[in-house]
Amino acid sequence: MISKNEKEIILGIDPGFAIVGYGIVEKSKNGDLKMIEYGAITTMAKLPFPARLAQVHRELKEVIKEYKPNKMAVEELFFSKNVKTAIEVGQARGVIMLTGIQAGLPIEEYTPLQIKQAVASYGRAEKKQVQEMVKMLLKLKEIPRPDDAADALAVAICCANSSNHYEIN
Protein backbone atom coordinates (compact mmCIF):
# COMPACT_ATOMS: atom_id res chain seq x y z
CA MET A 1 0.00 0.00 0.00
CA ILE A 2 1.25 3.48 -0.79
CA SER A 3 1.54 5.90 2.11
CA LYS A 4 -0.05 9.35 1.92
CA ASN A 5 3.42 10.95 1.93
CA GLU A 6 4.69 8.96 -1.03
CA LYS A 7 4.19 9.84 -4.68
CA GLU A 8 2.34 7.25 -6.68
CA ILE A 9 4.13 6.06 -9.82
CA ILE A 10 1.63 4.23 -12.02
CA LEU A 11 2.53 2.06 -14.99
CA GLY A 12 -0.39 1.90 -17.42
CA ILE A 13 -0.47 -0.89 -19.99
CA ASP A 14 -2.35 -1.24 -23.28
CA PRO A 15 -1.88 -4.99 -23.79
CA GLY A 16 -1.01 -6.74 -27.04
CA PHE A 17 1.60 -9.04 -28.51
CA ALA A 18 2.60 -7.07 -31.62
CA ILE A 19 2.62 -3.76 -29.74
CA VAL A 20 2.34 -3.27 -25.98
CA GLY A 21 1.83 0.36 -25.08
CA TYR A 22 3.12 1.60 -21.76
CA GLY A 23 2.73 4.91 -20.01
CA ILE A 24 4.08 6.01 -16.66
CA VAL A 25 2.51 8.82 -14.66
CA GLU A 26 3.26 10.27 -11.27
CA LYS A 27 0.44 11.33 -8.99
CA SER A 28 1.55 13.79 -6.34
CA LYS A 29 0.04 14.11 -2.86
CA ASN A 30 -2.21 16.94 -4.06
CA GLY A 31 -3.50 14.81 -6.96
CA ASP A 32 -1.57 16.48 -9.78
CA LEU A 33 -0.54 14.16 -12.60
CA LYS A 34 2.76 14.28 -14.45
CA MET A 35 3.88 12.14 -17.38
CA ILE A 36 7.16 10.37 -16.61
CA GLU A 37 7.60 8.28 -19.77
CA TYR A 38 5.71 6.45 -22.46
CA GLY A 39 6.52 4.09 -25.28
CA ALA A 40 5.81 0.75 -26.85
CA ILE A 41 7.25 -2.73 -26.86
CA THR A 42 7.11 -3.94 -30.46
CA THR A 43 7.61 -7.56 -31.50
CA MET A 44 8.31 -8.72 -35.04
CA ALA A 45 5.60 -10.71 -36.81
CA LYS A 46 8.14 -13.21 -38.16
CA LEU A 47 9.09 -14.33 -34.62
CA PRO A 48 7.39 -17.44 -33.23
CA PHE A 49 4.57 -16.48 -30.86
CA PRO A 50 6.32 -17.81 -27.70
CA ALA A 51 9.39 -15.70 -28.56
CA ARG A 52 7.16 -12.63 -28.88
CA LEU A 53 5.71 -13.29 -25.43
CA ALA A 54 9.21 -13.73 -24.01
CA GLN A 55 10.26 -10.41 -25.55
CA VAL A 56 7.25 -8.64 -24.00
CA HIS A 57 8.19 -10.12 -20.62
CA ARG A 58 11.88 -9.11 -20.87
CA GLU A 59 11.25 -5.58 -22.08
CA LEU A 60 8.43 -4.90 -19.60
CA LYS A 61 10.67 -6.15 -16.81
CA GLU A 62 13.27 -3.57 -17.90
CA VAL A 63 10.68 -0.77 -17.92
CA ILE A 64 9.64 -1.72 -14.38
CA LYS A 65 13.27 -1.90 -13.25
CA GLU A 66 14.10 1.51 -14.74
CA TYR A 67 11.04 3.53 -13.64
CA LYS A 68 10.20 1.69 -10.39
CA PRO A 69 6.41 2.09 -10.46
CA ASN A 70 4.53 1.22 -7.28
CA LYS A 71 1.36 0.18 -9.10
CA MET A 72 0.40 -1.29 -12.48
CA ALA A 73 -2.88 -0.79 -14.35
CA VAL A 74 -3.86 -2.97 -17.31
CA GLU A 75 -6.69 -2.52 -19.78
CA GLU A 76 -9.12 -5.42 -19.90
CA LEU A 77 -9.73 -7.12 -23.23
CA PHE A 78 -12.46 -5.88 -25.51
CA PHE A 79 -12.51 -8.19 -28.51
CA SER A 80 -15.10 -10.27 -30.21
CA LYS A 81 -14.61 -10.62 -33.97
CA ASN A 82 -11.24 -12.36 -34.32
CA VAL A 83 -11.10 -15.19 -31.79
CA LYS A 84 -7.47 -16.11 -32.60
CA THR A 85 -6.31 -12.52 -31.99
CA ALA A 86 -8.35 -12.30 -28.80
CA ILE A 87 -6.75 -15.48 -27.47
CA GLU A 88 -3.24 -14.28 -28.37
CA VAL A 89 -3.81 -10.87 -26.76
CA GLY A 90 -5.20 -12.69 -23.72
CA GLN A 91 -2.03 -14.75 -23.50
CA ALA A 92 0.10 -11.59 -23.79
CA ARG A 93 -2.03 -9.96 -21.10
CA GLY A 94 -1.30 -12.93 -18.82
CA VAL A 95 2.44 -12.51 -19.41
CA ILE A 96 2.13 -8.77 -18.72
CA MET A 97 0.24 -9.32 -15.48
CA LEU A 98 2.63 -12.05 -14.33
CA THR A 99 5.57 -9.72 -15.01
CA GLY A 100 3.94 -7.11 -12.75
CA ILE A 101 3.16 -9.69 -10.07
CA GLN A 102 6.75 -10.97 -10.11
CA ALA A 103 7.93 -7.38 -9.62
CA GLY A 104 5.67 -7.14 -6.54
CA LEU A 105 3.31 -4.58 -8.06
CA PRO A 106 -0.34 -4.32 -7.09
CA ILE A 107 -2.37 -4.61 -10.30
CA GLU A 108 -5.59 -2.88 -11.23
CA GLU A 109 -7.72 -3.65 -14.28
CA TYR A 110 -10.03 -1.32 -16.17
CA THR A 111 -12.46 -1.79 -19.02
CA PRO A 112 -12.26 0.47 -22.08
CA LEU A 113 -15.53 2.07 -20.91
CA GLN A 114 -14.07 2.89 -17.47
CA ILE A 115 -10.94 4.36 -19.05
CA LYS A 116 -12.89 6.56 -21.47
CA GLN A 117 -15.19 7.69 -18.66
CA ALA A 118 -12.24 8.56 -16.38
CA VAL A 119 -10.26 10.42 -19.06
CA ALA A 120 -12.88 11.99 -21.34
CA SER A 121 -15.89 11.99 -18.97
CA TYR A 122 -17.80 9.98 -21.58
CA GLY A 123 -17.70 6.19 -21.77
CA ARG A 124 -18.33 6.16 -25.52
CA ALA A 125 -15.69 8.76 -26.37
CA GLU A 126 -13.84 8.35 -29.66
CA LYS A 127 -10.15 7.40 -29.60
CA LYS A 128 -9.14 10.91 -30.78
CA GLN A 129 -11.11 12.53 -27.92
CA VAL A 130 -9.37 10.32 -25.35
CA GLN A 131 -5.96 11.10 -26.86
CA GLU A 132 -6.66 14.85 -26.77
CA MET A 133 -7.68 14.58 -23.11
CA VAL A 134 -4.49 12.62 -22.30
CA LYS A 135 -2.51 15.44 -23.89
CA MET A 136 -4.44 18.07 -21.93
CA LEU A 137 -4.49 16.30 -18.55
CA LEU A 138 -0.75 15.62 -18.66
CA LYS A 139 0.06 19.06 -20.13
CA LEU A 140 1.84 17.58 -23.15
CA LYS A 141 2.73 19.49 -26.32
CA GLU A 142 1.40 16.76 -28.57
CA ILE A 143 -0.53 13.51 -28.49
CA PRO A 144 1.81 10.66 -27.54
CA ARG A 145 2.68 8.24 -30.34
CA PRO A 146 2.17 5.44 -31.08
CA ASP A 147 -1.55 5.28 -30.26
CA ASP A 148 -0.83 2.32 -27.95
CA ALA A 149 1.33 4.58 -25.75
CA ALA A 150 -1.40 7.23 -25.57
CA ASP A 151 -3.88 4.48 -24.66
CA ALA A 152 -1.53 3.23 -21.93
CA LEU A 153 -1.26 6.75 -20.48
CA ALA A 154 -5.07 6.86 -20.44
CA VAL A 155 -5.06 3.59 -18.44
CA ALA A 156 -2.58 5.13 -15.96
CA ILE A 157 -4.70 8.30 -15.64
CA CYS A 158 -7.80 6.18 -15.02
CA CYS A 159 -5.93 4.27 -12.31
CA ALA A 160 -4.65 7.49 -10.71
CA ASN A 161 -8.22 8.72 -10.35
CA SER A 162 -9.78 5.40 -9.27
CA SER A 163 -9.23 2.72 -6.69
CA ASN A 164 -9.73 -0.89 -7.81
CA HIS A 165 -6.70 -1.82 -5.72
CA TYR A 166 -5.83 -5.39 -4.87
CA GLU A 167 -2.56 -7.13 -4.18
CA ILE A 168 -1.33 -10.62 -4.99
CA ASN A 169 0.82 -12.26 -2.32
Residue ranges in the chain modelled with pLDDT below 70: 1-5, 79-80, 163-169
Identified catalytic residue from 14, 59, 109, 151 = 14
State the CB neighbour count (10 A cutoff) for residue 124: 10
Residues 6+ apart with CB under 8 A from 85: 79
Quick check: is 147 catalytic?
A: no
Domain assignment present for 91: yes
pLDDT score recorded for residue 13:
98
CATH of the domain at 76: 3.30.420.10
Find the length of the chain. Answer: 169
Domain assignment present for 3: no
**What residue spans of the chain are helical by DSSP H?**
49-67, 83-102, 112-120, 127-137, 147-160
Domain assignment present for 51: yes
Identified catalytic residue from 59, 75, 88, 108 = 75
Identified catalytic residue from 8, 88, 108, 148 = 148
Domain assignment present for 50: yes
pLDDT score recorded for residue 167:
45
Domain assignment present for 114: yes
pLDDT in tens, 87-102: 999 999 999 999 999 9
Whole domain around residue 100: which residue ranges?
A: 8-160
The C-alpha atoms of residue 162 and residue 58 are separated, in whole angstroms, by 29
Quick check: is 151 catalytic?
A: no
Number of domains comprising the chain: 1
Quick check: is 32 catalytic?
A: no
Domain assignment present for 169: no
Residues 6+ apart with CB under 8 A from 146: 19, 21, 40
Domain assignment present for 2: no
pLDDT score recorded for residue 77:
82
pLDDT score recorded for residue 29:
86
pLDDT score recorded for residue 27:
94
